[in-house]
Amino acid sequence: MSDQNQSAPAPAIKLQGLSKRYRRADTLALDHVDLTIPRGSLFGLLGPNGAGKSTLINILAGLVIKTGGKAWISGYDIDKNPRLARAHIGVVPQELNIDPFFTPRALLDLMAGFYGLRRDRRRAQDLLEALGLGDRAEAYPRTLSGGMRRRLMIAKAMVHNPPVLVLDEPTAGVDIDLRRQLWELVRQLNTAGVTVVLTTHYLEEAQSLCDTIAIIDDGKLITCEATESLLSRLDDKVLRVDLARPLESLPESLASLGAERIDEHHLRFRYRGQSQTLSRVLQQLSAEGLEVVDIHTREPRLEEVFLQLTGRSIRLGA
C-alpha cells in the first residue's frame, strides 16, 4: 500500500503484521495483527486488560515504537510519513489529563498551535459549541464536571480536524446517564463523517454503537466482522412461553422439542440454529390445547460470543 492517491480511497486504518515486544518484560503485546478499518465506520476494538489494545493505539499515535509490521492512517505510512499520518488521527486517552491552568478555549488554541494551524484556521469556539461547552470556554478545568472534561478531551483530540478519532475507554468509570450522553455524541461524530474507533470493556456499549467489532486477546486478533454477523455465530436460542392456564406437568410432545417447565405458567425452549422453528413450537402448543399469552426470545449477547471465541469471559466495567 502506497501513500499516493489511488482510485479507491484508502481505509481509515490498515495494519499488516503489526507486532510489539517489550523486551525488558519479555512480553509480546501484539502478535502479527492484520486489520483494516474502513472509512466512515464506527469500529469497536474489544478485549480484556492486557490484550494489546492500548499498545496498538499508542503505536498509531506515535507514542510507542512497533517491533515489526506496517501501519497506515488514511493511506499514510506511519514510518515514511509520520507527521501526515498523525495529522489524520486524534486519540482520546482514558485518563483525563487536562492542564488545570488553561481554560478550554486557551487549551484548544494551544493544541492548534502545536499542529501548526494558523490563527485564522483555528476553530476552538466552534468545537466547544459543537460539544456543548460553548458557555464554559473561559472556565477553568477544576470547575468542569466529569462529563464536561470528557467532552473537552474529545475537542482536544479533534482540534486539527482529523478524519479518524480513537476513543480509549471513553465511558470507563462514569455513571449511566453520562455514558448515554457520550454514546449520543459518538453517534453524532460518526454521522458527521468521522471514523470512530472505540475501545471498551462495556460489551453493551460495543453492541449498541459499533457496526464492526474486532476482538483482540493476548496480542492476537481473534476475529473482525460486522456486529450482526458476529452475534449470529451463536447457535443457541432461547424461547420463553407464557401460558394462560397452569400446566401441572410437561407433555412428552413438548419435552421432545426441548421444552423445560419453569413453573406452572412458563415454559422455556432451547434449541440450536434453525433446527427448531417458532411455528413448530406454536403448532405443538396448540395441539396440546395450551393457550399462549406471550412469547419472549433472547438474542445472543456479545459476552457470550467473546466467551465462545476466547474460552474465557471478559471483565465488565473495568
| H runs (alpha helix) in 193-264 | 203-209, 227-231, 252-255
Reduced to 3 states (helix: H, G, I; strand: E, B; else coil), residue 269 is: strand
> Mean pLDDT throughout 144-172?
89
**pLDDT score at 273:** 55
* Helix count and strand count (H, E) for the chain: 11, 14
Query: Tell me, what's the pLDDT at 7?
Result: 60
What pLDDT is recorded for position 316?
Answer: 42
Cell 464536571 sits on residue: 145
Segment 31-48 shows an average pLDDT of: 94
pLDDT the model gives residue 317: 38
Task: Assess whether pLDDT exceeds 70 at residue 137.
Answer: yes
Residue in the block written with cell 461547552:
133
Whether 300 has a pLDDT exceeding 70, the answer reads no
**For all residues of the chain together, what is the average pLDDT?**
86
Amino acid (one-letter) located at 116: G
Helix (H, G, I), strand (E, B) or coil at 149: helix
In this prediction, residue 236 carries a pLDDT of 62
Per-residue pLDDT tens over the stretch 173-229? 777 777 888 888 899 999 999 999 999 877 778 888 999 999 998 999 999 999 888
Query: pLDDT band for position 139 (50/70/90)?
Result: very high
Residue among 61, 159, 136, 152 at smallest CA distance from 99: 152
Radius of gyration of the chain (CA): 25
pLDDT digits (tens, 9 = 90+) for 264-286: 999 988 766 555 567 788 888 99
As a whole-number percent, the residues of the chain with pLDDT over 90 amount to 48
- CA neighbor of 296 nearest in space, from 228, 235, 239, 249: 239
The whole-number pLDDT of residue 318 equals 35
Is the pLDDT at 163 greater than 70? The verdict is yes
DSSP secondary-structure letter at 156? H
pTM: 0.75
Q: How many CA atoms lie within 13 A of 218 on its CB side?
A: 5
Which residue's entry shows cell 410432545? 253
By C-alpha distance, which of 91, 257, 82, 102 is closest to 160? 91
Complete domains list, the chain, with CATH: 13-231 (3.40.50.300), 236-299 (3.30.70.1560)
The residues that bridge with 166 in the sheet, in sequence order, are 91, 197
pLDDT of residue 313: 60
On the question of pLDDT at 315 being above 90, the answer is no
